Amino acid sequence: MDRLVYEAATSGDVGLFRRIKDGDELPDVLFKKTPKDNNVLHIAAEFKQIKFFNDIPLEYGSSLFWAANKKGDTPLHVAAKVGCVEVVEFLIEHARKSVHHMERGDEERGPAAGESQNKLLRVKNSDNDTTLHLAVRYNHDEVVIRLMEADPQLCCFTNKANESPLFLAVRKGTPSIVHCILKAYGSGVSPSFQGTNGLTALHAAVTQEQLKDKGT
């Protein structure tokens, strides 16, 4: 990836698009990657530059939204990890439109978008973490709320370590996130309680209570 492109993504310099929009090099610039296979939207998400997402030409943006880096993270994974609600909301809206387009047989869609497991919100990275796993792990309440509102089924997935989002939330002692995930019952969804080494979220809850008792 060109240094100027990287700096534009980190700073939110959307003038980059305007300066080269009329040239033939725009697609080439947008699809350049770092050694870790991050594209400009991975970088922009990491630095919470929502302007970059708002201004990217949509004819090129769709495939970039779906692109995974060497860890299997999409830009949505990155946004969930850093807690950028604006970018998460933008990509959720994109995913919603993509699903609507799929139902209408629209041609513009992400790679393998016809397979439900590859819908943007449910893509897993190399650790089998969904975006919800990352939002829970890094204590981003608002991102968890947005993801759960968009797709309550996200709380049913486990990662390579067999951790469910609910197990992570209980183990980390984040009651607001636990409550948000448990609200999935109201949507007719039963969250997974699974955790590592045969443990469940209930085991983790007991452990948390014991730790609190020792601290008093």
Q: What is the pLDDT of residues 151-165, one digit of tens each?
A: 999 999 999 999 999
Using the predicted structure, report yes or no on whether residue 124 has a pLDDT greater than 90.
yes
What are the structural domain ranges in the chain? Answer: 1-126, 153-216
CATH 1.10.357.10 is held by the domain 153-216: no
Mean pLDDT of the chain: 84
Amino acid 169: pLDDT: 96
In this prediction, residues 104-113 reach a mean pLDDT of 43
Q: Which CATH superfamily is domain 1-126 in?
A: Ankyrin repeat-containing domain (1.25.40.20)
**Hey, what amino acid is at 35?**
P
Mean pLDDT for 167-172 is 95
**Contacts by 126-129 with C-beta closer than 8 Å and gap 24+?**
126/70, 126/71, 126/72, 127/71, 127/72, 127/159, 127/160, 127/161, 128/157, 128/158, 128/159, 128/160, 129/77, 129/159
Written as six digits, the tokens of 192 are: 């997974």
The answer on pLDDT for 94 being more than 50 is yes
What confidence tier does 88 reach under pLDDT thresholds 50, 70, 90? very high
Please report the pLDDT score of residue 52 as a whole number: 87
Please indicate whether the domains covering 1-126 and 153-216 agree at the CATH topology level: yes
d(CA 68, CA 83): 18
pLDDT at residue 26 tops 70: no
Q: How far apart are the first and last CA of the chain?
A: 53
Q: Is 48 helix (H, G, I), strand (E, B) or coil?
A: coil
Residue appearing with tokens 């610039």: 29
- Indicate the pLDDT class of residue 214, thresholds 50, 70 and 90: low
pTM score, two decimals? Answer: 0.85
